[in-house]
Structure 1
């Protein structure tokens, strides 16, 4: 069985709920980046021991939160040692707007993963783009490079769309399946 870590920052709880759904689907360890941009004790060791790392952050102003960027900058130590080379990587994000430049955040994650010599896992799901589609359908906003969700600015984390949480769980399952195949 592959070991998977979900390392994420959440500003208001929506991305945390998304992270929990990804971790549930992947049977992964959650590593929360705190409000100061730091990992909990043992977080770096968990990442080093993982076969796959899933990045998560809200999209703020067209990119990940500064807390996630602080973490990303600190990954220069494992980068220099090529400690994460050949790991699998994936990512997810959330913002209030339907588009909200979420793919810019996912592209940031992809670049970070590739700089580490990793391999990227997208969500592999068809979009729900018919007239009958609703926000409770999988991949209703049509993003393939990761799991993207929408949380209106006046919605609490408890009000997240079920389709987004189901997408996050299914995305976690896909990462786990890819990690199991890659580990063989």
Structure 2
């Protein structure tokens, strides 16, 4: 059974909700999936680092604040340098997701930040692989999957005046599940091919 770790930060609960749906999609494939809060991995000497080292894939997730990953996620990213020195994550699968109040919201910057982190660790980045569900006049915005058309990873939207109870909407959460499924299936193929 493949092991997938999801490391995320959530400022107001919206990104945690997305993480739960990414987990659901990945777990539905039969993968063993665990959630880890970035705050618990803020120091390279404390936290479940051994569990990340044992995972076949790590999915990074954070809200996009001011054009990049949130500060607690950045602290986790900086703390990964100890794993970098030992190649602890080399050849693992990696992917990323982000959430913000705007439809675009400079989320590509955060996804690129995660892809760069994965590259520095020698990980294999999995993109989303889903076409945009909202790019023609006959498409329904409210029910569209991947409606913002992000391809580097998963990007969802939570309107700023809604609590985590009310956002992201059902279409974005379904998109999150499909993303989790894609990463899990890619991880299975990768692990099978390595053995």
TM-score, structure 1 as length reference: 0.95
Q: 2:175 aligned with 1:175, yes or no?
A: no
Question: Relative to structure 2, which stretch is displaced further, 26-35 or 84-93?
Answer: 26-35
Number of aligned residues? 183
| Cα separation, 1, equivalents of 2:96 and 2:61 | 6
Q: Does 2:118 align with 1:113?
A: yes
Q: Is the 8 A contact 2:41 2:76 kept in 1?
A: no
Structure 2: distance between partners of 1:8 and 1:38? 15
After TM superposition, what 4+ stretches of structure 1 lie above 4 angstroms from structure 2?
35-39
In the other structure, the counterpart of 2:81 is 76
SS in 2 for 1:34: helix
**1:82-161 alignment, distance < 5 Å:** 82-128=87-133, 129-131=135-137, 132-159=139-166, 160-161=168-169
CA distance in 2, matches of 1:87, 1:10: 24
Distance 1:21 1:130 in 2: 27
Shift of 1:35: 8.5
**Residue 65 of structure 1: aligned partner:** 70
Cα distance, 1:163 vs structure 2 = 1.1
Determine the structure 2 residue equivalent to 1:12.
12
Assess if the C-alpha contact under 8 Å between 2:41 and 2:49 holds in 1: no
Is residue 42–residue 79 contact of structure 2 (8 Å, CA) maintained in 1?
no
SS at match of 1:25: helix
SS of 2:39 mapped into structure 1: coil
Moved more, 156-165 or 108-117: 156-165
Matched-pair contact (CA < 8 Å) for 2:5–2:58: yes
CA displacement, residues 63-103 of structure 1 (integer Å, 9 cap, x when unaligned): 00110010000000010011100000000000001111000
Work out the CA distance in 2 between the residues paired with 1:87 and 1:140.
29
Alpha-carbon shift at residue 157 of structure 1 (Å): 1.1
Q: Distance in 2 between matches of 1:133 and 1:144?
A: 19
Query: Is contact 1:36-1:67 (8 Å) kept?
Result: no
Deviations 1:101-130 (A, max 9, x none): 000000000000000000101111011122
CA drift of 1:43 comes to 2.1
- Give the RMSD, CA atoms, in angstroms: 1.6
